[in-house]
Amino acid sequence: MEKRCLRFQDISISEKMLYSLFLMTIGIGYLFALTHMYYTHQMRDGQPGMSIQDVMIAYYGSQDQTRLGSAINGGPMEPNLKSADEKEKILAWLNTDKSQTTFEQIISPILAKDCTYCHNPDINPGLPNLTTYEGVMEVASAKAASIPGLVKVSHIHLFGIAFILLFVGRIFIYCRMNITLKRIIVVIPFLSMLIDTLSWFVTRNHPSFAYVVVASGAMMGLSMGAQILISLYQMWVETFHPKFYLSTEQLDLLNKTITTLQKLGLRAITNGKAYFLKLAPIFWQSFTVLARQIVLNIFHTTQYFLHPKLTLSDADQLKSTQYMQLLSNAGYPVFFAGNGWLIKEAALTWQFIGTLDDLEGYLERLPAKQLVPLG
Ligand code: HEC
């Protein structure tokens, strides 16, 4: 029998659920890691937002962070400089490899003019000696990330991420795709992680390597993201695709059925729309009438429900019955409501009468021809 590697359609649903949850957790964890990185590094260069400058400063350090840089850039020694131009020259030199030649040519004259009458071992042995290159270099070294610190972060990083990449990659291998492409996607995250970590150390000495740090970091994120998304897609969407299970005839039948259903559906929608347009006004009318009746009912119950029970003497009860009878005969049905009478004047118009006298008055105001004498 031909040997075949396992694919997502071969593994059980519980396994897929387990893998999916793992992949999603890793994905969310990665997003949190990105956010964490943003919060820790974004302000390094003094500007909000992540930039390549932030990364350079994180590993290489910056001229602002040297003792000399901070002393003249906003620090207590800045007023001693005669011009802003001089400050820029010193800061620019601090940001290069700080060669002795440039120092002798440009920096030393400035210091001699502005600083060395205090910073001179003969006068103030306790202050940094700014008369010699060696003395200046003592306060001029950028505070790069420390090697022990980087070593610590690196080993944690490599151990931790290797496991994540191993499991994510192991699941990803279940995917069906071009085998060369798959091999590349499996290798990339590991390679980029290694390059990323190594370039931290290189960036300590060569700030332009920050670009490699960013590029390899992004590469790792993207390739791991691709592995996660492709795996999830193939696990849940593609695995159930009928083309993996059906013969050509069966597929044909399936397609025909789908087309028929689509046609039926389309017809149903068209007819439904026509009927709807035809019936809509009727429905609308009934609806508004119903709504009005409901509102009216609510109105009447809330209006009269709480009234005390109607109490009448025998004689008045007789009168009331007669009046109600007369009104009903005239086409105005009357009902007891609360402590009064409710006269239905029209389909939606009701009149409430509170006393027997008012009921009599109402009766008298009706046109005589409407009244049918009680027989
Ligand atoms: C009037 C005397 C005087 C002049 C001029 C002077 N400094 Fe200073 N400098 C001091 C004193 C005093 C200290 C130590 C006290 C302090 O740190 O504030 C100091 C400290 C420093 C430090 C060490 C800061 C630290 O982080 O420990 C640096 C760097 C420095 N000065 C650079 C300069 C430079 C560059 C100039 C010329 C632009 C300059 N100073 C001019 C008196 C002076």
Q: How far is the CA of 168 from the centre of ligand 1 (A)?
A: 55
Residue bearing the CA closest to ligand 1, atom 17: 76
Q: How far is the CA of 95 from the centre of ligand 1 (A)?
A: 20
Could you tell me if 219 and 188 are in contact, meaning their C-beta atoms sit under 8 angstroms apart? Answer: yes
Show the tokens assigned to 172: 């990803």
pLDDT value for 73? 78
Can you tell me the distance from the alpha carbon of 135 to that of 355, in angstroms, rounded to the nearest whole number?
112
Residue 336: φ, ψ to 5°: -70, 140
Can you tell me the distance from the alpha carbon of 348 to that of 332, in angstroms, rounded to the nearest whole number?
12
Q: How far is the CA of 54 from the centre of ligand 1 (A)?
A: 28
CB of residue 58 inside a 6 A radius of ligand 1: no
Residue bearing the CA closest to ligand 1, atom 11: 127
Can you tell me the distance from the alpha carbon of 358 to that of 360, in angstroms, rounded to the nearest whole number?
5
From first to last of the 375 residues of the chain, give the pLDDT tens digit.
456 788 888 888 899 999 999 999 999 999 999 998 888 777 666 667 777 777 777 777 765 667 788 788 777 888 888 888 888 888 888 877 788 998 999 999 999 999 998 999 998 888 889 999 988 888 887 667 778 888 988 999 999 999 999 999 999 999 988 899 999 999 999 999 999 999 988 888 888 888 998 999 999 999 999 999 999 999 888 776 666 667 788 888 988 999 999 999 999 998 999 998 999 988 898 898 888 888 877 766 665 444 444 567 777 878 888 888 888 888 888 887 767 888 888 878 888 888 888 989 998 888 877 777 766
For residue 116, the tally of other CB atoms under 10 A from its CB is: 19
Residue bearing the CA closest to ligand 1, atom 2: 118
pLDDT value for 172? 95
Can you tell me the distance from the alpha carbon of 353 to that of 356, in angstroms, rounded to the nearest whole number?
8
Q: Which of 118, 123, 132 to mutate to test the pocket of ligand 1 (most atoms within 8 A of CB)?
A: 118
Q: Which of 115, 117, 120 to mutate to test the pocket of ligand 1 (most atoms within 8 A of CB)?
A: 115
CB of residue 114 inside a 6 A radius of ligand 1: yes
CB of residue 87 inside a 6 A radius of ligand 1: no
Q: How would you classify the pairing of strands 340-346 and 349-353?
A: antiparallel
Closest atom, ligand 1, to C-alpha of 78:
38
pLDDT value for 305? 45
What is the number of H-type helices and E-type strands within the chain?
Answer: 13, 3
Amino acid at 53: Q
Question: What are the boundaries of each domain within the chain?
Answer: 8-54+146-238, 62-140, 246-303, 307-370
Residue bearing the CA closest to ligand 1, atom 1: 118
Could you tell me if 231 and 171 are in contact, meaning their C-beta atoms sit under 8 angstroms apart? Answer: yes
What's the predicted TM-score (pTM) here? 0.49
Who's near 142: CB < 8 A, 6+ residues apart? 60, 61, 62, 63, 65, 66, 94
Select from 23, 313, 35 the least CA-distant residue to 174: 23
pLDDT value for 306? 40
Q: How far is the CA of 77 from the centre of ligand 1 (A)?
A: 5
Can you tell me the distance from the alpha carbon of 219 to that of 222, in angstroms, rounded to the nearest whole number?
5
